[in-house]
Structure 1
Amino acid sequence: MPGFGMLTDTFDDGVRDPVLWSGSYGDVEEAGGRARVPCTTAFSAYQSAAVYTLTGSQVACRVYPPAAGGAAGEALAELLVITAVGGTDGGFSLNRVTGLLKLISRTGYADANEVVLTYDPVAHAWLRLREASGLLLWETSPDGGTWTARRTAPAAAWTADTNLSVILAGHRDSGSGDFAEFDNFNLLRRARLTSASPAGAALAPLERSAPAMSGSPA
């Protein structure tokens, strides 16, 4: 079964790849070299096929969040790994209304141990969720090369499932419609962990040069 590291996309050709992102919904498009996802009161996302595993692999990309735009409670950009069980997922949820970045691993739509950061558009420009040696790590980077682990936890059993998908999503509860944008999915610089990473993170260094699928350059 393929790991998520096999899924790469630059979003540079102006056409959503119908093989890589076969589960997509809403009026998503490629524009300006990015995956552009409407952030409206509807639900929209780039979504991969449900054929991947997270074990020994990663999902990562550059994230450009929407403006708050007068939303009452949420204007979201999300990078999430989705399971076949509703409400069981993991990844990042960025809310421009609250200015908070949540690092989540949910069961039944809840995570009692979620980590919440004040969003920093420089330090948190890139987001990565990965599994290695039984650990699940949530990491951020300013440049896609130097990574800091912000949360580390034992990997949930679902990370070994072989029917996972990933979504790049946008949604708001009200206000003016906008876009969440994403770029360079799983296309990173030579990766390294910083000295600020918590104990345990160094057990799973990651340097990937994953082969591309369906015409997406590595």
Structure 2
Amino acid sequence: MTLADLVDDFDDGTVNTTLWPASYGAIEESGGRGRIPCTTGYAAYWSASAYTLTDSHVQLQVFPPAAGGAVTATVSVLVLSGVSGRDAGFLLDTAGNAVGLYLREGFADPGAVFLTYSATDHAWLRLREDSGTLHWETSPDGADWTIRRTATSPAWVAQTDLSLLIEAHRDSGTDDYAEIDNLNTPTGQEQALTLATETATALPLAGAKRQSLGAAATSAGAQPLVGSKQQTLGAALAEAAALPLARAKRRTVGQAAETWTARPVTSSKQRLLGVAAEVAQGRALTLTNLYPSPAAVLTASSSGPTLGASTSGPALAATSTTGGS
């Protein structure tokens, strides 16, 4: 495992003895932080010897003890190699107002770098190994880091039996605590947020878009209209109470004309007709001049029927009164 795999947020109120099996002193978790007594004795969170630092890191938030009248009041964060006095890391001394950046061999480091301690600038500490170089870094927020020292990585950073020691101690003065938090937690996991406020200076607009809006549908307090639109509506299509007709139109339709295109006869009927009867329509006779002539002498017919006296018509006189005998 790499040292970056050693993660603890100290939020559950109980020291994780799986992560910190070699710890000593009256360490505890309180208020979401790991707490280490800072007395004339020694106390520490100490991990298992099971990690490597190659291409890895260890970072955390550190709250050092108060000076409390001591000459030295320290909290140290060290990666131990397994060989006594061979280690690398940080030592914060609030009594001496200093931060030491160490790469020790036999408890000594002639090239150690010392910073004037700032509770803001040095709130977070990180020791990082990358491609053969060690980096000592600090940050005010765990996000923006400043490199304070670099050195060639010693061979022991590749070992797989490294451990992490976080220890507190003072030489005198009032007993106190050092506290730690957010060990290798994702950057920004805990970020105190305040209510957003408007900035006093607004940025100028680079561009703007406009959209013409129609009249509001509803408004608690309507603004006076500065313009209006009108649309003439036609008669309603239907209404519960019908309006009387104002006018009507009529058109006389004539007989339909025959079309030139006749449909084919699909069936027919036939009727046999008899002999036509003659129909005579007599015309009125126009009287012309009458010329009297003597009646002919009737003789008996040799072939026709014998004429007898009529019983219904007028009687024929024997002689003519006007003609000859």
Q: TM-score, normalised by structure 2?
A: 0.57
Match of 2:43 in 1: 44
Match of 1:71 in 2: 70
Distance 1:24 1:167 in 2: 8
Distance 1:22 1:58 in 2: 20
Please list the CA deviations of residues 141-194 of structure 1 after superposition, one character each: whole Å capped at 9, or x if unmatched. Answer: 00000001000110111111111100111001111110000000011417xxxx
Please list the CA deviations of residues 77-111 of structure 1 after superposition, one character each: whole Å capped at 9, or x if unmatched. Answer: 11111121111111000001110000001000000
Distance 2:183 2:148 in 1: 20
Distance 1:173 1:86 in 2: 22
Match of 1:26 in 2: 25
Distance 1:176 1:147 in 2: 33
Match of 2:167 in 1: 169
Distance 1:177 1:19 in 2: 28
Q: 8 Å contact 1:145–1:188 — kept in the other structure?
A: no
Match of 1:178 in 2: 176
Match of 2:111 in 1: 113
Q: 8 Å contact 1:78–1:92 — kept in the other structure?
A: yes
What letter matches 2:28 in structure 1? E
Match of 1:149 in 2: 147
Flag the structure with larger Rg: 2
Match of 2:209 in 1: none
Distance 1:174 1:83 in 2: 30
Aligned residues: 188
Percentage identity across paired residues of the two chains: 52
Match of 1:136 in 2: 134
Q: 8 Å contact 1:53–1:159 — kept in the other structure?
A: yes
Please list the CA deviations of residues 53-75 of structure 1 after superposition, one character each: whole Å capped at 9, or x if unmatched. Answer: 11111111000000001112x10
Q: 8 Å contact 1:144–1:188 — kept in the other structure?
A: no
Q: Secondary structure at the match of 1:112?
A: coil
Match of 1:17 in 2: 16
Q: Which runs of 4+ in 1 moved over 4 A?
A: none
Q: TM-score, normalised by structure 1?
A: 0.85
What letter matches 1:28 in structure 2? I
Which structure dedicates a bigger proportion of its chain to strand?
1
* Unaligned stretches of 5+ residues in structure 2: 189-325
Distance 1:179 1:109 in 2: 25
Please list the CA deviations of residues 31-59 of structure 1 after superposition, one character each: whole Å capped at 9, or x if unmatched. Answer: 11001000101111001100001111111
Match of 1:97 in 2: 95
Distance 2:127 2:117 in 1: 17
